[in-house]
Amino acid sequence: MAPSIRLSPAARSLFDEPLALAVQGLAPRQPVTLRTSLRDETGQLFQACARYRAEDDGQLDLARCPALPGGSFSGLEPMGLLWALQPQKPYWYMMKRDVQSPFLLQLEVFDGHGDPPGQLLAQAQHERGFMSDGVRRVPVREGRIRATLFLPPGEEPFPGVIDIHGLGGGLLEHRASLLANHGFATLALAYYQYEDLPQEPTELRLEYFEEAVNYMLQHPQVKGPGVGLLGYSKGADLSLAMAAFLNNITAAVSLNGPAAITVYPLHYKDKIIPVLPMYEELATVTDSNILDYSDIFLDPFQAPGNQSLIPLEKAEAQLLFIVGQDDRFVKSEYHATEVCKRLQAQGKDNFQILSYPGTGHCIDPPYFPLYPIGHHPIYHKRAVLGGKIGVYSRAQVHAWSQIQAFFHKYLNG
């Protein structure tokens, strides 16, 4: 029997779903190298490879067989060939703009453990999609709101979540589209550098985000009486401010965000929250000549009279802080710990922290590649984000399941 690749699901899966991978028809104990390849929307190539040895019956099941040393990873890692994908162009982030089309994953099996690899024995293709059958993508241009709403299949009202990304502008839909597959009406919300929104804002107004909350609560397919918020980085401090100042916020998740307002002053009615001061001269240079900006922010908890802290004691929502212990952009673990100490001292218990070792600033849904060094959105220089491959992948999977469980618990009443 000629070697062949067996996948489950066979032809298509969602990007955040596990993919079972096996090879059959090999010689007993045959050494082989498996390689995965994927090109993103810009054409940039991501690859991973691993060395294996077939079992005595010529079967190779990645759920049972550990990878041998010498590839992108070793040990028993059934999803290693997906989470270990790395860009061939250094410091490249895997971007997904068009969530209506899948990524195409190429799988190849080569004879032996050579470099370059030996004879090609088998190959297969697999689609990794972002929207399951029946999920609807609805562009939103209501009043000032510029967003995309993803609705799960069916007509009943669903728990509603607003997804707010970090700095960089534009409208990113990959997280919102994946969340909709799990039963949430999810609004991916842009707030600058998109269509007619401000290109280079000097301030942000909370009324804009309040309008998004009201849009969701007036939608016939969004279950009230409140909505959830999922904010990453700058989007996390905006989400926490929404929880502190706005009504009808039931649950808010902060993904590696500060507990203070950063970069743009935040206005709401007659109140202005100034930004947390930052000092570029406090950046350090790593051995590989990359900048580390983790110490550039003023410590808002040690600065008497600092006005940039978000008054989270006002928040009635349940709060979930997800932090990477190796976050080198924001001291997110410190911020979350200190703010929860303050809430506890005031007799509040509406908070929890999930803290992940070996995890940097960028926490994407499962199986997105590690992005440890990136482009600083303010200083426009190469900067350390942090994170270590492998442990980061486990954090992605766990955090994603916990976000869903948190929203199901508090938004389904």
* Catalytic machinery residues: 233, 327, 361
232 - beta bridge partners?
255
- Beta-carbon contacts of residue 319 (< 8 Å; ≥ 6 apart): 240, 243, 251, 252, 254, 312, 350, 351, 352
Cis geometry, peptide bond prior to residue 69 (ω within 30 degrees of 0): no
Buried b (16+ CB within 10 A) or exposed e, 72-110: bbeeebbbbbbbbbbbeeeebbbebeebeebbebebbbb
Q: How far apart are CA 39 and CA 125, in angstroms?
A: 12
38 - beta bridge partners?
46, 105
Cβ atoms of 228 and 410 closer than 8 Å: yes
Q: How far apart are CA 277 and CA 229, in angstroms?
A: 26
Angstrom distances, CA of residue 122 to CA of 35, 80, 95, 101, 109: 11, 19, 29, 26, 5
Return the closest-CA partner of residue 173 out of 205, 218, 210, 136. 136
> Could you give phi then psi for residue 410, rounded to 5 degrees?
-95, -20
Q: How far apart are CA 99 and CA 129, in angstroms?
A: 7
